[in-house]
A and B are shown apart, each in its own frame.
Chain A
Amino acid sequence: MTAAQLVQYLSWATYVTIFVIVAAKAMRSPRRVNIDIALFFSLPMLIVVFTLLAPPAGSLLSYLVVILLLALPYMLIKLVDDFADVPKWLLYTSEVLLALIVVGTIALGSKQPDWFVTIELFYLIVFLAYGVVAFARQSQRASGITRRRMRSAAAGSIALCLVFVFSGLARAAPQFAGLWSTLSQLSSLASGVSYFLGFTPPEILRRAWQEPELRAFLGRAARLPRLPDTQAILAEMESGAAASLGAPHASVGLWSEARQALSFGVGDEQVDVTPTPLSAVGRAFLNQKPVFSPNAPRDNPAVADALRKYGATALLVAPITAGKRKLGVLTVYAPQAPIFAEDDLALVQLLADQAAVVLESRALIDEATHVRAQEEVTRLKEDFLSAAAHDLRTPLTTLVAQAQLLERRAVRSPEAPADLAGIQKVEKEAQRLKTLVLELLDATRTEQGRLVGTREEVDLTEVAEETCARNGTELHPCEVEAEGPVLGCYDSVRIRQLVENLVENAVKYSPEAGAVRVKVWREKECNCLSVADSGIGIPAEDLSHIFDRFHRGTNVDDKRFMGMGLGLFICKGIVEQHGGRIWVDSVHGRGSTFYVALPVEVGKIDADVT
């Protein structure tokens, strides 16, 4: 056996092997594309068989071999039409040309003139080249294993094209017949091997081709559980799955036990889909098996419109399952049934399995966060109760002891004059308690967002002047700077409380003598007020917490400055529940200026006023 013969037998063996595999597959799953693949490869198989029978020239069999050869480009174009639209005129042209050439071949017999052979070769090469371009284009659009299989198919078609090119050259330059024949044989083998890799890749090759996409998805998936919310995770997984498959769109439907439906995010909306055996999605979820639906709008007319909106014809659906828990489905939409649907479906299932891991991790993180949040709420409640209890007990101690002392005095010496100082002390402590209790109630209302009641027209200038008059002393004169009334529609009781609190603080935290300056003015879209002092100021590290509940400046001596650390928390509540903003500028040891910006109209404020 010569080397040339060996090459020929090898390429024949390859083509026969491909046919056996694709024919078996077409019988197992008789989809149009599988049948067309089998038909395409039946041609080389038959050519091989008939050639082996060594028909004499001019016999029916020898004509059949030629006709089968001529049918190759036509079948390839039919195959291309299954996954990419081939223009109708081109299909018809190829059919007509094929028919004419076949008739010509039979009519002219073995004495074909050069012009006819040229037309024959031209037809073969041009239509095979069209197939090459179609496969190459499709491989650009696809990704992963499909892309590689498409490339192999394109390479196979190029090699097949070359077979005919060299046949043509053998006729044009017969002096190099040996060379052309060898090149033609080698091209034939190359096309066989390429088609083998493209249409019937061995499992090991499929895995290797799948790996980069899976690895890329896994790389992304590892970061997913830490995204801020489940919606963000789903969006990332969907775009990741679509990218891995080279599909325009993918979506995850999560099973909702409460609604007994798969919930898909469509834009900003949630669309519930009840899983039924009628739809591919329902079958995948109910049977827990991946499902490929080449024409989903036809399968399930109920969702045809929704699918058309995505330009989706084919659906690849895989169940997302963690252990025995059905979490949902991963659906990938394709505009046309993919040629290698089985590989794509296997990849979708792999991605769905990863999605299950991501969703489970997320659920665990959510659970842990929830527990932590619960603990934080409990801790805050305990802090609140213990701080409140301590602050309430101090005046209560004096109140109870003083009242009991008054009683003792009255019992022991009823004739003695009333202990006025003692009574005043009882009253003072009762007032102190009242203030504390009200503050605690306000803090609770602040948290519940129920601080602001009935609104009426309030003049901030007037409120500032009244407050200053009440709080100003010789040591701490309080001055108001305003150009006239500044009117707004607010809860007048709360606004007075706010200004009172800020001015009181300004006086309280200015142990040395120093003026308190209140400024009221109107800006673009807000009514503003500031309270400035030259007191102890706020250390930089406290500035971001100064409006928090129970937070007191680290430079505030608890015993020197009474308070529960609720005042500014309530102030912030009053301002924010009016739709405004409050902030502070302060230099430790040099004083603080608190700013308040309230909307002129209810609920309106320019957020950038600073």
Chain B
Amino acid sequence: MTLMLHEHAILVVDDDQDILSTVAEILEFEGYKVERASNGVEGLRAVERAHPALVLLDMRMPVLDGWGFARTLKERGISLPILVMTAAHDARRWAQEIGAEGYVAKPFNLGDLLNAVERLYRHN
């Protein structure tokens, strides 16, 4: 049983169930509390419910994609650091488009993901 070091949750939004569960598992193993969502709509609900400290966001998703998710957050006046994780080769541009704080390109190194998460989580 891993010790819960962090009080605030990290929200992981990804439509690929395997990636979602693996990323969640990694974060939990590192002691973070994790909220999971399979698309933008579920993500928004989770934000309302769990007030996460950080969002790990996939961009291309059904129902509501990463852009829609980020736009809705802004419209609702919610300011949350976002870490974009996407398989697209233009991950950097997409991250800039939605004003995200950082990005990791799939397939990512576990170390890189955790470094980025830690930096943004602390910062917040």
Contacts and interface: CB of A to CB of B under 8 A. Distances in A.
Q: Do A and B bind each other?
A: yes
A396 B22 CA distance: 12
Contacts, number: 63
A489 B50 CA distance: 63
Interface residues of B, number: 22
Contacts of A394: 16, 19, 87, 106
Given A405-B110, A557-B62, A393 B87 contact: yes
A429 B111 CA distance: 20
Interface string B12-47: 000110110111011001000000000000000000
Q: Which of A397, A409, A425 has the most CB atoms of chain B within a 10 A radius of its CB? A: A397
A422 B111 CA distance: 18
Interface string B57-95: 000011000000000000000000000000111000000
A256 interface: no
Contacts of A400: 107-110
Contact of B62 (A386, A398, A560): A560
Contacts of B19: 394, 397-398, 401
Interface in A387-411: 389-390, 393-402, 404-405, 408-409
B49 to A, nearest CB: 23
Contacts of B117: none
Given A390-B88, A405-B22, A429-B18, A559 B29 contact: no
A390 B16 CA distance: 13
B53 interface: no
A395 B26 CA distance: 16
Given A425-B18, A557-B62, A397 B26 contact: no
Given A386-B89, A401-B113, A402-B22, A409 B15 contact: no
Contact of A405 (B15, B29, B62, B107): B29
Nearest to A403: B110
B87 A404 contact: no
B82 to A, nearest CB: 18
A404 B110 contact: yes
A298 to B, nearest CB: 74
Assign chain A's interface to a size class.
20 to 34
Contacts of B107: 393, 396-397, 399-401
Contacts of A399: 107
A417 to B, nearest CB: 14
Nearest to A559: B62
B26 A405 contact: yes
A405 B23 CA distance: 9
B18 A408 contact: no
A428 to B, nearest CB: 8
Given A393-B106, A401-B113, A425 B88 contact: no
Contacts of A397: 16, 19, 22, 87, 106-108
Contact of A408 (B16, B62, B110): B110
Nearest to A432: B18
A406 to B, nearest CB: 10
A386 B60 CA distance: 14
Contacts of A389: 87, 89
Nearest to A409: B29
Which residue among B22, B29, B88 has the maximum number of chain A CB atoms within 10 Å of its CB?
B22
Interface in A166-207: none
A422 B25 CA distance: 10
Contacts of A390: 87-88
25 contacts: A386-B89, A389-B87, A394-B16, A394-B19, A395-B18, A397-B19, A397-B22, A397-B106, A398-B16, A400-B107, A401-B19, A401-B22, A401-B26, A401-B108, A404-B109, A405-B26, A405-B29, A405-B110, A408-B110, A409-B29, A422-B25, A425-B22, A559-B15, A559-B61, A560-B62
What 3 A-B pairs have minimum CB-CB distances, sorted nearest first?
Answer: A404-B110, A393-B87, A397-B107
Given A405-B22, A425-B22, 4 more contacts: A398-B16, A399-B107, A400-B107, A558-B62
